[in-house]
Amino acid sequence: MKRRDVFGVIGGAAAWPLAVLAQQPKKNVPRIGFLVTGSLVSPEARAILKAFDLGLREYGYIAGQNVIVEVRAADLNVDRFPVLASELVRLNVDLIVASNSLAARAVQQATSHIPIVVPVMGDPVGDGLVASLARPGGNVTGLTFLGPQLVPKRLALLKEALPTASQVAALWHPGAYGEPTMNDMMNEAKEAALTLAVHLRLVAVYVPEDLDRAFSAIAGERADALLIFPSPMLFNQRKHIVDLAAEHRLPTMAMGKEFVQLGGLMSYGADIIDSNRRCVAYVDRILKGAKPADLPVEQPTKFELFINLKTAKTFDIEIPAALLARADGVLE
């Protein structure tokens, strides 16, 4: 599949015709670059692009008619981000949507003048993407899902669901965010573990191929549960992670409901996929003349707790009634 064969594989509202996208853009029609982590045929990329297309339509943009969208996919190889970012910059697009913090850093290094909108940032200040949430100050703005900051809360909820758990393994991707953000996330997780009287075993996953080895190590140490740290790569690998967790009978706590929908036990966080729809508000304002430097980064106002009762029953886990009552979604 060629890199610019963008939406031929995507059904529903996001089926943007290849024939249209292959045309030269009409005069004065804005061009948007979009950089994603996974492959164009992955469920994650399909969901992201469908949500973005929905957002475009809400603001009156129809791909191939009054806006041109150029998508580049890293196929889960984040080392390709700089090359793909440079390619989008050479296309002289009016704006680039970088799907996450890693993609945003690559685009930011490739251009200081093309506006960049990021629908899913972990810690935009800690990662050096913006000067502050209120005044970004550069060419980057967008939404943060506060993923790293919620790690202690996720661990506390996991402990509430499993009061007798004393050994918790944590999957983390060392390159998911900038070094300051990763250090803060590690330190806060360790402090939370001490408070909860839980031994936290950190297991690094650098590439998807590490997952099988990681789960073998976790199983060998007889962990009671698994905490999944926020990471675009781990999010892309959620089906594999959930399958391995089921194989090893490991109840999981993750950052998005997408894990729970696949069979994970619990999740807590903002709606990551919908952020790709909401980011079009920034796209629209920038295309109409606003500067990213002046557009505050949006923080989530709601965090969702999802619980899979079917998985709980499979693992002989009885979720406390008080926790179930607070859940935003219970899958049975």
Bridge partner list, 286: none
Q: What is the per-residue pLDDT for 21?
A: 43
In angstroms, rounded to a whole number, what is the distance separating the alpha carbons of residues 79 and 19? 30
Above 80 in pLDDT, residue 11? Answer: no
Decide if 12-146+272-294 and 148-269+303-331 have a common fold.
yes
What's the token pair of residue 137? 């100050």
Query: Cα-Cα-Cα-Cα dihedral of 283, 287, 288, 291, to 10°?
Result: 80
List the chain domain ranges.
Answer: 12-146+272-294, 148-269+303-331
Q: Is the pLDDT of residue 255 over 70?
A: yes
With a cut of 60, say whether residue 2 has pLDDT above it. no
Q: What is the pLDDT of residues 124-144, one digit of tens each?
A: 998 899 999 999 999 999 999
Using the predicted structure, report yes or no on whether residue 17 has a pLDDT greater than 50: no
| pLDDT tens, residue by residue, 103-126 | 999 999 999 999 999 999 988 998
pLDDT of amino acid 18: 37
Burial of residue 57, with CB atoms counted within 10 A of its CB: 0-12 exposed, 13-18 middle, 19 or more buried: middle
The reported pLDDT for the residue numbered 98 is: 97
Amino acid at 199: H
Letter for the amino acid at 257? K
Q: What is the mean pLDDT of residues 17-23?
A: 40
Q: What confidence score (pLDDT) does residue 10 get? A: 32
Which of the four pLDDT bands, split at 50, 70 and 90, describes residue 26? low
Do the bridges between strand 304-308 and strand 266-269 make them parallel or antiparallel, or are there none, so unpaired?
Answer: antiparallel
Strand order in the sheet with 225-228: 199-204, 167-172, 225-228, 252-254, 266-269, 304-308, 329-331
CATH class of 148-269+303-331: alpha beta
Tell me the mean pLDDT in the region 289-306: 95
Distance between CA atoms of residues 162 and 319, nearest Å: 8
- Dist. CA 139–CA 178, nearest whole Å: 18
**What is the pLDDT at residue 148?**
75
Q: Which residue has the tokens 């008619």?
A: 65
What integer is the mean pLDDT of 160-172?
96
DSSP 186-197: HHHHHHHHHHTT
CATH fold, domain 12-146+272-294, is Rossmann fold (3.40.50)
Extract the tokens encoding 180. Answer: 């300051």
- The pLDDT confidence band at residue 24, using thresholds 50, 70 and 90, is low
What per-residue confidence (pLDDT) applies to 15? 41
User: Is residue 110 within 8 Å of 102, Cβ to Cβ?
Assistant: no
> What are 47's two structure tokens?
């969901």
Whether the pLDDT of residue 22 is over 60: the answer is no
**pLDDT the model gives residue 51:** 95
CB 85 within 8 A of CB 106: yes
| pLDDT above 60: residue 318 | yes
137: left (phi over 0), alpha (psi -120 to 50) or beta: left
Residues 263/70, Cβ–Cβ less than 8 Å: no
pLDDT one-digit tens code per residue, 197-254:
999 999 999 999 999 999 999 999 899 999 999 998 899 899 999 999 999 999 999 9
Q: Confidence class of residue 32 from pLDDT cuts 50, 70 and 90?
A: very high
**For the sheet containing 95-98, what is the strand order?**
68-73, 31-36, 95-98, 116-121, 140-144
